[in-house]
Amino acid sequence: MLNVLKNKRFRHLFLAQIVALLGTGLATVALGLLAYDIAGGQASLVLGGVFTIKMIAYVGIAPIAGAFADRVDRRKLLVGLDLIRAFVALALPFTTDVWQIFGLIFLLQAASAGFTPTFQATIPDVLPEEQDYTRALSLSRLAYDLESLITPTLAAILLTVFAYNALFLGTLVGFLGSALLIISIALPNPKPSAPRGIYDRTTRGIRIYLATPRLQGLLALCMTVAAVAAVVLVNTVVLVRSELGLNNSHVAYALGAFGGGSMIAAFALPKVLDHTTDRLVMISGSVLMVFALIGLALNGVTWTALLATWFFIGLGYSITLTPSGRLLQRSAHPEDRPAVYAAQFALSHACWLIAYPLSGWAQTTLGSTQTMIILAAIGAVSSIAAMRLWPTGQQREFLHTHDDLPADHPHLKGSDGNAHSHAYVIDEYHAFWPKKS
């Protein structure tokens, strides 16, 4: 898996991802402490607003940013967005009112909504071989998991020496480090797509996404992931502290079990995907998550059961999500990939926008068992929907006709009349997915 790091451009991109993630993690810890300083007992309300703003920015800004990403030099765009994020990190310690936090967080997350899909769409151009790209996806997943494990520890160490505002300095260093790593390499730029209107450009990625069966299945799987993992991310502290009567260290251990399961899957997946279809792997991961949560709901919450369940959910989480980049890569032309990755970014976060508040509301009003059953049921229905929406088999080429094109059209070059076969993606010549191969 580590062989892909021999590629200098990917190595710098991967290191940029790591330092930016560490900076973001430190900012998350510092933001909670800043909210408490400003709002006191209403800090949870402030943080709830921050996370809502984050999701709104992701869902609303990502498609717009993706629509124009192929018109701008990628390296300049990524570096510019990193500098915007660094500016926000520098400004946050000087805030004195809640509205200032909200404004800066929106700017930060709007920049992230442009940065992340563009960054993700660059990697398949840097590593065009599918096996290399698969290993890059596993490393990327591993980076997210390591960040969730390392950042709290790093923050705790720093807080023994510095005030919490110093954590924002770590965030600043992370974003500046990311910008320096990206500016040190040349990045491929896809050829610009044909000129289109604003509406066409901003909706193109979502239209391609929703017209492609494998991506319809991916969206359903994202709903499964959001529903089940929201129980872990939102309710662990309540389950550990209130129901089991344990301390904060046990909260960290429980979340560590989730992260550990995810990391093991990330290590194992490249070899598995060399011999197994994406569909089988991803649906298996989603089913594992659902059954693990149902098992905990039916058998009751004990410390051992919670650790085991969170581990298996983490395993399923990574199994389901890691291969998603491969689906996006093969579902669009290079010039359309930024828009399609942005669509995935926006639509997947829309699933979280539903799951996060639902999990918190159900835990507060109905209790843990009912919450697990409700979220597991949503996950089960979404997994079944994925099986129906995403056809079996890995067929990529379809024999089809173009009755709307003249026989001498460039797209039909080398064809027998107006019928031909090629790897099928939604574009200006293929507005709908074929009903039959």
Instruction: Give residue-wise pLDDT tens across range 124-149.
Output: 888 888 788 878 877 887 777 677 66
Q: How many CB atoms lie within 10 A of CB 374?
A: 17
Mean per-residue pLDDT, 64-82: 80
Is the pLDDT confidence value at 159 over 60? yes
Angle made by CA atoms 357, 362, 365, in degrees to the nearest 5: 120
- The CATH number of domain 7-189, selected from 2.20.25.10, 2.30.130.10, 2.60.120.10, 1.20.1250.20: 1.20.1250.20
Is the pLDDT confidence value at 23 over 90? no
Quote the pLDDT of residue 437: 47
Mean per-residue pLDDT, 301-315: 95
Quote the pLDDT of residue 429: 65
Q: Could you tell me where in the chain the CATH 1.20.1250.20 domains are found?
A: 7-189, 205-391
Is the pLDDT confidence value at 68 over 90? no
Q: Which of 97-106, 251-260, 277-286 has the weakest average pLDDT?
A: 251-260
User: Can you state the percent helix, strand and coil of the chain, rounding each to 5?
Assistant: 80, 5, 20
Is the pLDDT confidence value at 195 over 60? no
Mean per-residue pLDDT, 253-265: 86
Q: Which residues contact 223 (CB under 8 A, 6 or more apart)?
A: 351, 354, 355, 378, 379, 382
> C-alpha distances in angstroms, 55 versus 33, 109, 282?
21, 8, 24
How much of the chain exceeds pLDDT 90, in percent? 27
* pLDDT band with cut points at 50, 70 and 90 for residue 158: confident
Is the pLDDT confidence value at 341 over 50? yes
Return the higher-pLDDT residue of 274 and 224.
224
Q: How many CB atoms lie within 10 A of CB 298?
A: 11
CATH class of segment(s) 205-391: mainly alpha
Quote the pLDDT of residue 29: 73
Mean per-residue pLDDT, 73-88: 91
Burial class (CB in 10 A: 0-12, 13-18, 19+), 60: middle
* pLDDT band with cut points at 50, 70 and 90 for residue 389: very high
Angle made by CA atoms 60, 357, 222, in degrees to the nearest 5: 60
- Using left for φ > 0, alpha for ψ between -120 and 50, and beta otherwise, residue 387 falls in alpha
Quote the pLDDT of residue 102: 87
Mean per-residue pLDDT, 208-224: 93
* pLDDT band with cut points at 50, 70 and 90 for residue 153: low
d(CA 126, CA 119): 11
Quote the pLDDT of residue 273: 85
Mean per-residue pLDDT, 184-206: 70
pTM of the model: 0.80
Q: What integer best gives the mean pLDDT of the chain?
A: 83
Quote the pLDDT of residue 360: 84
Q: Which residues contact 27 (CB under 8 A, 6 or more apart)?
A: 89, 92, 167, 168, 171
